Amino acid sequence: MTDAASTPFIEWRGIRHAYRSRQGEIAALAQIDQRVLTNEFVSLLGPSGCGKTTLLLLSGGLMRPTAGSVLANGRSLNEPYADMSIVFQRDLLFEWRSNLGNVLLPAEIRGADRRRAADRARELFRQTGLEGFEDKWPRELSGGMRQRVALCRALLPDPHLLLMDEPFGALDALTRRQMVVDLEQLFLRRRKTVLFVTHDVAEAVLLSDRVLLFSNRPARIVANIAINLVRPRGFDPDQAAFQAYVTEITRVFEELGVLQQQRR
């Protein structure tokens, strides 16, 4: 983290959340109290359905918690946070717009200068290995390339807060690994406050400054693990230290019963 990352950017204060169903309330989040520092990359790691995505949406002001409060940059979130972008598991590209047209959509919505936005978009295409595909259509791209376009679209407004909800979950293993490296390079090039939802332990360790481990629903934070690996980590982090973090996280989930060792 940079020296500037010394104050909280996102604060969760006594967060609880429940959904209504025909069978009654379904508790998604229990007492969540935690801070995310400015320019910090934090992964939310836990079992499926435990409330990670709910917390992500609460953190951007896209939902309101049942109890407690979310602060962004020191202010309570009562509406969507303006300086924020989100990347979902699906790329959600419009098939009738070119790849460049998809990336420029946030600029069009905000009424930004189109020429300046196009220049920035083309630079993002270059940085993500998509140069030459600006005027192609989404259907002409692989799954990994489409997700890169979605990432460029999220980065175009240069948001301070970047929310990522399992953005690589639908990709094959090799493409996913490359995307992890590409994302780290983008993060190092222009620091942002990133909340990253994943189920992949290795992915969380490779990308994060910290990893927050969640219990089964209703979720609570059961461990807060700082990842002290030298950046850039790329494909070749310190293997002994990397494996130690993976082992530590795996042990926590085994103790919770989220992971179970094979019995002979």
Do residues 192 and 39 touch, judged by C-beta distance below 8 A? Answer: yes
Q: Which tens digit of pLDDT belongs to each residue from 193-238?
A: 999 999 999 999 999 999 999 999 899 999 999 999 999 998 777 7
221 versus 261: the higher-pLDDT residue is 221
Cα–Cα nearest to 201, from 186, 223, 220: 223
Q: Which tens digit of pLDDT belongs to each residue from 139-182?
A: 999 999 999 999 999 999 999 999 999 999 888 888 888 889 99
Do residues 103 and 152 touch, judged by C-beta distance below 8 A? Answer: yes
CA angle, 73 then 75 then 79, to 5°: 105
Give me the DSSP letters along 195-256. Answer: EEEES-HHHHHHH-SEEEEE-SSSB-EEEEEE---PSP-TT---HHHHHHHHHHHHHHHHHH
In the chain, domain spans: 1-83+162-175+185-264, 92-159
Confidence of residue 55 (pLDDT cuts 50, 70, 90): very high
The maximal CA–CA distance of the chain, rounded, in angstroms, is: 64
Residues 6+ apart with CB under 8 A from 44: 52, 55, 56, 195, 196, 197, 198, 212, 214
6 pLDDT more than 80: no
Q: Which tens digit of pLDDT belongs to each residue from 36-53?
A: 999 999 999 998 888 999
Rounded Cα distance between 204 and 246, Å, is: 9
2 pLDDT more than 50: no
Termini Cα distance of the chain:
44
- The dihedral over CA atoms of 70, 76, 77, 79, expressed in degrees to the nearest 10, equals 160
CA-to-CA dists, residue 135 to 5, 106, 115, 138, 149, angstroms: 38, 17, 16, 10, 12
Over range 6-25, report the average pLDDT: 89
> How many Cβ atoms are within 10 Å of 53's Cβ, its own excluded?
18
Write the CATH number of the domain with boundaries 1-83+162-175+185-264.
Answer: 3.40.50.300
